[in-house]
C-alpha cells in the first residue's frame, strides 16, 4: 500500500532537485523557447529542463505512475497515482529575474490530491502538506489567519494571457478593489495559495487556472484551514478558484459570483 508520506518525500526530493537546477543553472541570456495561449504566455528552456528532471526522477522510483505536466510530459499510469507537475509556476517572473516563482508537485491517488509540495528557491522556502496531516512551512505548522471584515481583507489574484479574459478580469478588480484593503498580483498561483495558508494573504481568487497551477497549493491551503472552492456550491476549477478562511470565504465567493469573475 502506498503511504501518502512516501509520496510526499519523493515530491520534496524532486522539487528540491529541480530548484537547484533552476536557481543555479539559469543562463544569463535566458529567453523564450515557445509560447502557449498567446505571445505573452511563455515557456523557457528551463521549464522544459525542470519538467524533464522531475518526471525522470519520479519515473525512476515509481515507474507505474501517471503524469500530468504543464509542458506536455503527460502519460497514463497503472498504479492509481498521478503526479501533477508545474516545473516553474511563475515563468514570467523567472524570465525577468523576479523571485516569485516556484516548483509545484502534487500527488493524486485515485483522483484525490494526497500530497503536495511548493518549493520557492529564491525565498528559501518549502511548503508541504499531506492529506489529513496538516500543512507546513519548514517545521512550522501553518494556519490561515483569522477572517477579517470584508473591507479589511488583503486579496491576491492573477490575470490570464488572453486579451478578452484580461479585460474581464480588470473589470472585476475595478469593482472589487474599493471594497477591500487592497489587491496583490504576485504572478504565481501556487505561491499565492501558500500565502493564504501562511496568513500572508487573507484570500486569493483567480479564473483560468490549470490543474498543475493549483493542485499542490490547494491542498496546502486546505490543510492550513482555508476553504477552497469555485462558484457557490462548486469545486475549484479552471472556471474559478477561491481560497479564504471561514468567515471570509462565503462573502468573497458571493461577491465574485455577482461580479461574473467566473466568465470572460
Is there a binding annotation on residue 213? Answer: yes
Is there a binding annotation on residue 86? Answer: yes
As a whole number of angstroms, the distance between CA 55 and CA 249 comes to 35
Q: Single out the residue of 8, 25, 10 nearest to residue 59, CA to CA.
A: 10
User: What are the grid coordinates assigned to 184, written together?
Assistant: 496583490
- Taking the CB of residue 177, how many other CB atoms lie within 10 A of it? 12
As a whole number of angstroms, the distance between CA 133 and CA 60 comes to 27
Residue 88's SS3 state is strand
Please, what's the b/e burial string for 64-102 (b: 16 or more CB within 10 A of its CB; e: otherwise)? Answer: ebbbbbbbebbeeeeeebbbbbbbbbbbbbbbeeeebbb
Residue 151's SS3 state is helix
As a whole number of angstroms, the distance between CA 100 and CA 72 comes to 23
Is there a binding annotation on residue 89? Answer: yes
Yes or no: say if 140 and 156 are a contact pair by the CB < 8 Å rule.
no
Q: Give the bridge partners for 119, in sequence order.
A: 103, 126
Is there a binding annotation on residue 195? Answer: no
Q: Which residues contact 39 (CB under 8 A, 6 or more apart)?
A: none
Is there a binding annotation on residue 191? Answer: no
User: What are the grid coordinates assigned to 249, written together?
Assistant: 470565504
Binding site listing for Mg(2+): 70, 86, 88-89, 213
Binding site listing: 70, 86, 88-89, 213
Amino acid at each position: 500500500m502506498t503511504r501518502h508520506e512516501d509520496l510526499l518525500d519523493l515530491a520534496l526530493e524532486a522539487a528540491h532537485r529541480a530548484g537547484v537546477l533552476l536557481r543555479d543553472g539559469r543562463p544569463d541570456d535566458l529567453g523564450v523557447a515557445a509560447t502557449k495561449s498567446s505571445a505573452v504566455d511563455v515557456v523557457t528552456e528551463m521549464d522544459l529542463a525542470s519538467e524533464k528532471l522531475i518526471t525522470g526522477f519520479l519515473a525512476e522510483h515509481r515507474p507505474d505512475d501517471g503524469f500530468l505536466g504543464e509542458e506536455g510530459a503527460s502519460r497514463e499510469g497503472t498504479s492509481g497515482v498521478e503526479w501533477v507537475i508545474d516545473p516553474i509556476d511563475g515563468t514570467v517572473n523567472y524570465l525577468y529575474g523576479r523571485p516569485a516563482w516556484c516548483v509545484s508537485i502534487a500527488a493524486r491517488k485515485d483522483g484525490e490530491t494526497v500530497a503536495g509540495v511548493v518549493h520557492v528557491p529564491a525565498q528559501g522556502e518549502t511548503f508541504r502538506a499531506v492529506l489529513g496531516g496538516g500543512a507546513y512551512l519548514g517545521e512550522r505548522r501553518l494556519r490561515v489567519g483569522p477572517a477579517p471584515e470584508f473591507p479589511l481583507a488583503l486579496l491576491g489574484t492573477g490575470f490570464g494571457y488572453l486579451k478578452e479574459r484580461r479585460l474581464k478580469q480588470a473589470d472585476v478588480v475595478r469593482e472589487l478593489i474599493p471594497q477591500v484593503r487592497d489587491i496583490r498580483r504576485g504572478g504565481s498561483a501556487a505561491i499565492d495559495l501558500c500565502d493564504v495558508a501562511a496568513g500572508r494573504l487573507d484570500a486569493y481568487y483567480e479564473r483560468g487556472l490549470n490543474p498543475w497551477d493549483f493542485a499542490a497549493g490547494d491542498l496546502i491551503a486546505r490543510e492550513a484551514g482555508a476553504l477552497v472552492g469555485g462558484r457557490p456550491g462548486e469545486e475549484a476549477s479552471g472556471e474559478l478558484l477561491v481560497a479564504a478562511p471561514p468567515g471570509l470565504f462565503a462573502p468573497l465567493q458571493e461577491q465574485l459570483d455577482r461580479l461574473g469573475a467566473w466568465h470572460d
